[in-house]
Amino acid sequence: MTNCLFKCENLSAYNFDGYILKNINFMLMPGEVHALVGERGVGKKTFVDVIAGFVKNIQGDIYYKGQNITSQLCSKGIEEIKVLLQKSCLIDNLSIAENLFLKNYPKKTIGMPLIDWQQIYLTTSHLLKELKIELDYRKKISELTNEEKKIVEIIKIYLQDPDIIVLHEPTENLGVKSIEKLYKIIEILRNKGRGIIYVTNQWEEALKISDRISILYKGQLVGTLSTTEAKKNPSKLLHKIYGWTNFRENNKNIGDEDAEVFEAVFKAAEFLSSDYELKDVLSMLARYATKVMNADGCMIDLIDEGTWSVIDTVTFKTKEDLEALLKKESIMLIVREGELFYATENDKNFISLFERQKGVKTIICSPILIRTQITGFIQVFYQDLYAYSDKEAAYLLTLAKQVGIAIEDTRLLGRSTLLQESHHRIKNNLQSIISLISLQKDFIQKDPNKSIDVVMNEIISYIKSIAAVHDLLSKDKLGRSIINVKEIISSIKDLYAINRNITINLEIDDIFISYNKATVVALIANELLNNCIKHAFKQCEDGIVNITCKKQPKHILLIVEDNGQGFPENFDLENLRTLGLSIVYATVINEFKGQIKIERTRGTRFVILLPEENLLLS
């Protein structure tokens, strides 16, 4: 490689006990991050010390842009190479700005050649803003935490902008956010054509940030892999690092695994050629994925492409106490990458990936696509540290494709039967409307003073809320019989938008429910909002209604509150004389087995708890 930036040829280093490094051949290209990985005590620190010029007893040759710099490194080092050591080299009683420009202070060009402090402070301030690092450049190093000191040292190297940067355990003492900033700085330097040697015992970091990975074992370089190759087959990398120490091995016969994958595919095809429920296919594939991947569990999420929300989840696990629920942000990040994602507890940000995590040390994930469209997410998890092979990667991707086929088949079935379903829905909705009118008739007999206009408006309001659900369902391009609660309540809100004196605020999670339950939820939301509009603000011109709907563990919380005049003290939910609130009460208590209560504060506050199992997709 003629444009090689840095090269070691047959490099050996030794002390009085013998060789620490032996015949190291290492190469770094411009714009490359080349990781040097190995366990503690294999010679990584010595390799860094050689480049930093701290080790004098060396043999072999070191080149920079084709020029032999071995003797120069041993005597004084060279400016074109900067090293981030594990131990801080900052001066405690100087400020951040002073440390950044130490030995390279800018001088004033006019008058006496004094240090230009204004330029130092201005440059430092702009640099911190550019890198989005919240530090006061006037602060002394002695006042900083170990994490902040490490960040300052990284910034100092970035400011010096050398051709070659050696980073020794750069994430040590850094939190997740600081690591993200480090990776961004590395990316900037890489794009500028700088060469970076990333020395670490964390091979997971090397997979994330490097272009090539060289493995050091007992002072010798035992192999170099492209990161692409290592990602496809981490087991090859790990064999070279520590021969599977601390890692669970897959002792299955590969031929047996092939047979299991084929069986899973054929079984899925058998499901799809008969009357089936999507959940049955996904449950079967989750079981097979767990078995084939030698895992302890598998989770398959169906994702709504519009909101990036999880519509439904199928989980299979070998032990009930295992939990690996990823955060929505983590899922979005993984599926947008569009590649196999792998993480273990050795990753410093491993815990931060999860909403809830218990007993799981390794996850392997893949997005599920239908014609480049992301529709789901499959994740296998392990209670031990585990590294997959390239064969296992292919297995998981095959099963992910099979999940995609199952989802697409369900959608096609949904489109082909949509007209038939619509007839049933229209019939059911008409029956609901007839029942509502009959109930209203009974209530009129109890309260003959009620005007016909009020009665008709209430009936129209019920019909509109049901129609709103129908309208949302007809607009779903994927032919699904599910609706987002956020869209239902937003549509109900729009029905009352003509009243400009009343502000309606919504704070609603993306919660997906089936069509038959959506009409009931629409009626509840409509009645509670209608009740606020009609009764809460008789004594005032302006008003506020807040509607909140949140997904909680095992429950859906719905709150509708206003700042109006409130209900009278003798108001009793269980003995109502109005149809609308009677329907709300009966539906919540009898159909959903939920809870409803009224709180009187500055207005009226309806609080409804609906059990998740009676409302969400099953």
Q: What is the pLDDT of residue 185?
A: 93
What is the percentage of the chain residues whose pLDDT exceeds 90? 25
CA distances to 41, 174, 182, 205, 239 from 169, in Å: 13, 10, 12, 10, 21
219 CB contacts (<8 Å, ≥6 apart)?
19, 20, 21, 22, 42, 43
Q: What is the pLDDT of residue 579?
A: 60
Q: What is the pLDDT of residue 409?
A: 54
| Stretch 448-476: mean pLDDT | 59
| Stretch 67-74: mean pLDDT | 88
Whether residue 162 is predicted with pLDDT greater than 80 in this model: the reply is yes
| Stretch 86-96: mean pLDDT | 88
* Higher per-residue confidence, 91 vs 582: 91
pLDDT single digits (tens) 302-339: 887 677 777 788 899 999 999 999 988 888 888 888 78
Confidence band of 526 (pLDDT split at 50, 70, 90):
confident
Alpha-carbon dihedral of residues 514, 520, 522, 527, nearest 10 degrees?
Answer: -170
**Cβ count within 10 A of residue 474:** 10
| Stretch 138-150: mean pLDDT | 90
Residue-wise burial string across 69-84, b where 16 or more C-beta atoms lie within 10 A, e elsewhere: bbeebbeebbeebbbb
CA–CA distance, 589 with 301 (Å, rounded to integer) = 30
CA–CA distance, 365 with 335 (Å, rounded to integer) = 9
CA distances to 62, 161, 288, 411 from 382, in Å: 44, 42, 15, 32
CA–CA distance, 143 with 116 (Å, rounded to integer) = 24
> CB of 24 within 8 A of CB of 10?
yes
Whether residue 108 is predicted with pLDDT greater than 70 in this model: the reply is no
* Higher per-residue confidence, 378 vs 426: 378
Helix (H) or strand (E) holding 611: strand 603-611
Residue tagged 């997904």 (tokens): 551
Confidence band of 396 (pLDDT split at 50, 70, 90):
confident
Q: What is the pLDDT of residue 37?
A: 93
CA–CA distance, 236 with 282 (Å, rounded to integer) = 31
Helices of type H across 300-417? 328-337, 390-416
Tokens matching residue 464? 């509109």
> CB of 247 within 8 A of CB of 39?
no
Q: Name the residue type at position 407.
A: I
For residue 33, the number of C-alpha atoms closer than 13 Å in the C-beta half-sphere is 24
Q: What is the pLDDT of residue 416?
A: 40
Confidence band of 569 (pLDDT split at 50, 70, 90):
low
| Stretch 381-402: mean pLDDT | 84
| Stretch 177-201: mean pLDDT | 92
CA–CA distance, 91 with 8 (Å, rounded to integer) = 32
Confidence band of 423 (pLDDT split at 50, 70, 90):
very low
| Stretch 154-173: mean pLDDT | 91
Alpha-carbon dihedral of residues 104, 109, 115, 120, nearest 10 degrees?
Answer: -70
CA–CA distance, 117 with 226 (Å, rounded to integer) = 46
Residue-wise burial string across 535-568, b where 16 or more C-beta atoms lie within 10 A, e elsewhere: ebbeeeeebbbbbbbebeeebbebbbbbbbbbbe
Q: What is the pLDDT of residue 77?
A: 73
**Cβ count within 10 A of residue 332:** 16
Residue 234 DSSP label: H
pLDDT single digits (tens) 254-286: 455 555 554 555 454 444 444 446 677 788 888
Tokens matching residue 164? 């070659």
CA distances to 257, 381, 521, 538, 568 from 290, in Å: 11, 8, 37, 61, 58
Single pTM value for the model? 0.56
Confidence band of 237 (pLDDT split at 50, 70, 90):
confident
Residue tagged 């002072």 (tokens): 219
Q: What is the pLDDT of residue 618?
A: 47
Confidence band of 381 (pLDDT split at 50, 70, 90):
very high
> CB of 616 within 8 A of CB of 512?
yes
CA–CA distance, 605 with 602 (Å, rounded to integer) = 9
Q: What is the pLDDT of residue 572?
A: 63
Q: In what order do the strands lie in the sheet with 18-28?
A: 18-28, 6-15, 58-64, 67-68
Helices of type H across 54-202? 70-75, 96-100, 117-130, 146-160, 176-191
Q: What is the pLDDT of residue 18?
A: 63
Nearest to 327 by CA among 176, 183, 210: 176
User: What spatial distance separates the first Cα and last Cα of the chain, rounded to whole Å?
Assistant: 59
* Higher per-residue confidence, 419 vs 125: 125
> In whole numbers, what is the pLDDT of the chain averaged over residues?
79
CA–CA distance, 133 with 130 (Å, rounded to integer) = 8
Write the Ramachandran bin of 66: left for phi over 0, alpha for psi from -120 to 50, otherwise beta. Answer: left
Q: Name the residue type at position 70.
A: T
> CB of 468 within 8 A of CB of 522?
yes
Counting DSSP H helices and E strands in the chain, the numbers are 18, 24
Measured CA angle at 467 (ends 307, 459), to 5 deg: 135
CA–CA distance, 327 with 334 (Å, rounded to integer) = 11
Whether residue 352 is predicted with pLDDT greater than 70 in this model: the reply is yes
10-19, 377-386, 554-563: which is most confident: 377-386
Nearest to 323 by CA among 365, 354, 301: 354
Whether residue 201 is predicted with pLDDT greater than 60 in this model: the reply is yes
Residue tagged 């599910």 (tokens): 482
Q: In what order do the strands lie in the sheet with 603-611?
A: 502-508, 543-552, 555-562, 603-611, 595-601
* Higher per-residue confidence, 109 vs 556: 556
Least confident window among 63-72, 351-360, 405-414, 416-425: 416-425
* Higher per-residue confidence, 434 vs 73: 73
Confidence band of 539 (pLDDT split at 50, 70, 90):
low
Nearest to 240 by CA among 220, 225, 222, 227: 222
CA–CA distance, 615 with 618 (Å, rounded to integer) = 8
What is the percentage of the chain residues whose pLDDT exceeds 70? 74
Measured CA angle at 189 (ends 173, 75), to 5 deg: 80
DSSP code per residue over 477-517: TT--SEEEHHHHHHHHHHHTTT-TTEEEEEEE---EEEHHH
Complete domains list, the chain, with CATH: 1-80+164-245 (3.40.50.300), 96-161 (no CATH), 254-415 (3.30.450.40), 417-614 (3.30.565.10)
In DSSP terms, which residues pair with 313 in a beta bridge? 301
Helix (H) or strand (E) holding 220: strand 220-226
Confidence band of 241 (pLDDT split at 50, 70, 90):
confident
